[in-house]
Chains A and B, each alone.
Chain A
């Protein structure tokens, strides 16, 4: 009994030793990443160079044939272009929206916490559920948006149709030399998921709606971390409004905004749920992203090798983006 105590103590000491404790705590996470991210990635690289089909995890080695085959496919190139547009456009909306929201929500006012909770909800809701909600909102036959546009909104038959003022605005835009927008036809209302441009807009909107809360929370954290002394000093120096924002708040907020942007880009470029649920790549395969096209080719059409190749087109792009963003964030931090 007396001899057991030093042994227990030695074990306790080991737990307190950084050389042991640090690896012990990090190992599970490292193993998790290696097994669930690293191993599938290596397998995907291998499969992309084979002619493997469904149900096989091996195939004839064909080097880069799958990559060139994919490149020569119009749908693939359209998907690549869409992925870039989808990612950049939704992130632009998110950055601007989150910036505005964060500045509004960081100030103390009555009901601030409730409003913050409401804004967080899209992030907390399961993506499939919320996207199915939008699928119904944009439905081809029973869209609530279209219903609101083309039905008389005035009680008692007051003949107020929302599409009329919208058409008046669209008519004004149509006069601009470089823009052409159609008008809303009451009997043939816009098909939010049935026309390529509208479908892309719908997808971008829903993705931005999803990511916005995440970016807003990060922005709020960033703004809250700026010491009040800095604001006071800026005020003493006469910097107010936009000037203060441009020279003080923005530079200090930039590193954390970069983190939000990096995550947003990665989440968006690798997302397939929104597109899959809303359009399945339609109309006429015009809204496919690399993720959905890889799924369509590799899973639904049984071409595992080619599907893996398509999905890997994203990898170097995201790798470069990640490295650039981290370098940028570090430089800003250091300066």
Chain B
């Protein structure tokens, strides 16, 4: 058959396209197309890397900030100026906050990616993958003073004596509430009991309170903060699970009551944007969130901003004690080829935090208090008549680290990342478990996690 084909071909009387012809013509076509492209390349020259004029490259990845002006300043002003001084092209990538943990794990798995990774919660579980950030801490401490307790307990592992991250900033987590509605019901949300009493009246007005109980960051933070107000904690100071306590049970009962009286089922499908969306749409009467809510209202709905109060977290029966809303932690991977430059960048940013503080519109509080030496005066000078003064109080007195009273560690990270606290609260609120059973079930889940990380020598 093949011979016949050849003979016919030689005689030029082949009528159909043979397999061989197809391969040959395809290859020929490719070569012609490739050769056709060559003159263009020859004329234009070898493609050049657009930023080739800089000697170094530093890659950073962090979240898309809730205050967009911050990203504009960071990407177009700060990093450009810093890069010019250090002969470095600083490339900044932004991703949604919910994607950060998975992205970090992907870079670790690939052992490549960015030189600096900006997390929004401490990542003690990644301790073995990052450098010891002690050197940067020491340099910044010499220049601006001591790191805050929140920063220290978020990023330092007392067991391994390693700084597994650099605490860049933390975000105070106030409540936002509608003055008109709360005046109407004649209550001020000073305590959690006040919230419980007001909730049914506010719901009857068509404006429920919005306290998330979902698999997302805001719910996690709020619910752990609520527990703290009741004297309940994930772990004790010795990093032993402490969830199954009468304090936790009381906190669970409180949340169940608030939900049944004054919330709707939407809180079980909460996302990181729900506080903002619900409050800014005019539906919610109270939300616990960083100041991105009121900052957005100032731009889009000044009347709502005027009608909004920002206050510390309500007091519980034991204390008033919130969490940072997010903890800005920079890490430098061990695989980074630009460790020295990365350290320099982080240290410089923190030692000159004034720009970050201002351009985040007071969202980012420096983890080194001395990095912005007059921030109380700046808060007072905000055009919105002292509305933000309370942030200083919240930052100093009512904000602790994730894992308080202990250090933030890998076990706490895992509990946080697998949403076990929102799960416990939601199960009680939806009547799937009693508070006592839920606290006991949570302990049952926490124990092996602590045992595992203790076994690995991390706590």
Assess the A140–B270 pair: CB atoms within 8 A: yes
Q: Show the binding face of A for B, using Cβ within 8 Å.
A: 9, 12-13, 15-16, 51, 53-56, 69, 73-75, 138-142, 187-188, 190-196, 199, 279-285, 295-297, 299-303
Distance to closest chain B CB from A55 (angstroms): 4
Q: Kindly identify which residue among A195, A196, A284, A300 contacts B105, using a CB–CB cutoff of 8 Å.
A: A300
Q: Kindly identify which residue among A55, A74, A141 contacts B277, using a CB–CB cutoff of 8 Å.
A: A141
- List residues of chain A with CB within 8 A of the CB of B278: 141
Task: Offer 12 A-B interface pairs, CB within 8 angstroms, sorted by A.
Answer: A55-B111, A74-B441, A140-B269, A141-B278, A141-B281, A191-B269, A193-B269, A282-B422, A284-B430, A299-B106, A300-B105, A302-B413
Q: Closest chain A residue to B108 by CB distance?
A: A55
- List residues of chain B with CB within 8 A of the CB of A51: 456
Assess the B265–A300 pair: CB atoms within 8 A: no
Assess the B1–A283 pair: CB atoms within 8 A: no
Assess the B422–A284 pair: CB atoms within 8 A: yes
Query: B102: CB under 8 A from chain A?
Result: yes
- List residues of chain A with CB within 8 A of the CB of B425: 284
* Given known A12-B2, A300-B105, contact A54–B129 (CB-CB < 8 A): yes
Interface stretch, picked from B211-219, B316-324, B365-373, B388-396, is B211-219
Assess the A15–B125 pair: CB atoms within 8 A: no
- List residues of chain B with CB within 8 A of the CB of A138: 269
Assess the A296–B417 pair: CB atoms within 8 A: yes
> Roughly how many angstroms separate A53 CA and B105 CA in the complex, as a whole number?
10
Q: Kindly identify which residue among B20, B213, B281 contacts A284, using a CB–CB cutoff of 8 Å.
A: B213
- List residues of chain B with CB within 8 A of the CB of A187: 203, 206, 264
Assess the B125–A302 pair: CB atoms within 8 A: yes
Assess the B418–A283 pair: CB atoms within 8 A: no
Assess the A296–B418 pair: CB atoms within 8 A: yes
Q: Which 3 pairs between the two chains have the least Cβ-Cβ distance?
A: A194-B269, A194-B268, A282-B215
Q: Kindly identify which residue among A16, A194, A300 contacts B418, using a CB–CB cutoff of 8 Å.
A: A300
Q: Kindly identify which residue among B106, B215, B277, B452 contacts A281, using a CB–CB cutoff of 8 Å.
A: B215
Chain B residues with a Cβ closer than 8 Å to the other chain, count: 57
Distance to closest chain A CB from B72 (angstroms): 26
Assess the B418–A284 pair: CB atoms within 8 A: no
> Roughly how many angstroms separate A75 CA and B419 CA in the complex, as a whole number?
11
- List residues of chain A with CB within 8 A of the CB of B6: 9, 12
* Given known A187-B206, A301-B418, contact A285–B215 (CB-CB < 8 A): yes
User: Contact string, B263-305, partner A, CB cutoff 8 A, digits 1/0?
Assistant: 0111111110010011001010000000000000000000000
Assess the B2–A283 pair: CB atoms within 8 A: no
> Roughly how many angstroms separate A296 CA and B426 CA in the complex, as a whole number?
19
User: How many inter-chain residue pairs (CB < 8 Å) link A and B?
Assistant: 143
Assess the A54–B2 pair: CB atoms within 8 A: no
* Given known A12-B20, A285-B419, A285-B423, contact A54–B105 (CB-CB < 8 A): yes
Assess the B422–A188 pair: CB atoms within 8 A: no
> Roughly how many angstroms separate A214 CA and B123 CA in the complex, as a whole number?
42
CB within 8 Å of A: which of B387-438?
A: 410, 413-414, 417-420, 422-427, 430, 432
Assess the B102–A300 pair: CB atoms within 8 A: yes
User: Contact string, B201-227, partner A, CB cutoff 8 A, digits 1/0?
Assistant: 001001000000111100000000000
- List residues of chain B with CB within 8 A of the CB of A284: 213, 215, 268, 419, 422-427, 430, 432
Q: Kindly identify which residue among B111, B264, B269, B419 contacts A188, using a CB–CB cutoff of 8 Å.
A: B264
Query: B448: CB under 8 A from chain A?
Result: yes
- List residues of chain A with CB within 8 A of the CB of B216: 280, 282
Query: B445: CB under 8 A from chain A?
Result: yes
Q: Show the binding face of B for A, using Cβ within 8 Å.
A: 1-2, 6, 19-20, 23, 98, 101-102, 105-106, 108-109, 111, 125-126, 128-129, 203, 206, 213-216, 264-271, 274, 277-278, 281, 283, 410, 413-414, 417-420, 422-427, 430, 432, 441, 445, 448, 452, 456
Instruction: Known A-B contacts: A140-B266, A196-B430. Give 17 more (CB < 8 A).
Output: A16-B2, A55-B126, A55-B128, A55-B129, A75-B445, A141-B283, A192-B269, A193-B269, A282-B268, A283-B426, A284-B268, A284-B426, A285-B419, A296-B418, A300-B102, A301-B418, A303-B452
> Roughly how many angstroms separate A141 CA and B128 CA in the complex, as a whole number?
41
> Roughly how many angstroms separate A140 CA and B19 CA in the complex, as a whole number?
58
> Roughly how many angstroms separate A300 CA and B215 CA in the complex, as a whole number?
13
> Roughly how many angstroms separate A138 CA and B269 CA in the complex, as a whole number?
10
- List residues of chain A with CB within 8 A of the CB of B268: 140, 191, 194-195, 282-284
* Given known A12-B6, A12-B20, A302-B414, contact A282–B125 (CB-CB < 8 A): no
* Given known A12-B20, A55-B108, A284-B422, contact A194–B267 (CB-CB < 8 A): yes
> Roughly how many angstroms separate A124 CA and B333 CA in the complex, as a whole number?
39
Assess the B274–A140 pair: CB atoms within 8 A: yes
Assess the A141–B417 pair: CB atoms within 8 A: no
- List residues of chain B with CB within 8 A of the CB of A285: 215, 418-420, 423
* Given known A55-B111, A74-B441, contact A188–B418 (CB-CB < 8 A): no
Q: Kindly identify which residue among A280, A281, A301 contacts B125, using a CB–CB cutoff of 8 Å.
A: A301
Assess the A54–B265 pair: CB atoms within 8 A: no
> Roughly how many angstroms separate A155 CA and B196 CA in the complex, as a whole number?
39
Assess the B20–A15 pair: CB atoms within 8 A: yes
> Roughly how many angstroms separate A19 CA and B288 CA in the complex, as a whole number?
71
Distance to closest chain A CB from B359 (angstroms): 30
> Roughly how many angstroms separate A163 CA and B26 CA in the complex, as a whole number?
62
Assess the B266–A141 pair: CB atoms within 8 A: yes
Assess the A73–B445 pair: CB atoms within 8 A: yes
Q: Closest chain A residue to B24 by CB distance?
A: A12
- List residues of chain B with CB within 8 A of the CB of A303: 414, 452
Assess the B19–A15 pair: CB atoms within 8 A: yes
- List residues of chain B with CB within 8 A of the CB of A196: 430
Distance to closest chain A CB from B200 (angstroms): 12
> Roughly how many angstroms separate A278 CA and B417 CA in the complex, as a whole number?
18
> Roughly how many angstroms separate A192 CA and B410 CA in the complex, as a whole number?
34
Q: Kindly identify which residue among B20, B417, B423, B445 contacts A300, using a CB–CB cutoff of 8 Å.
A: B417
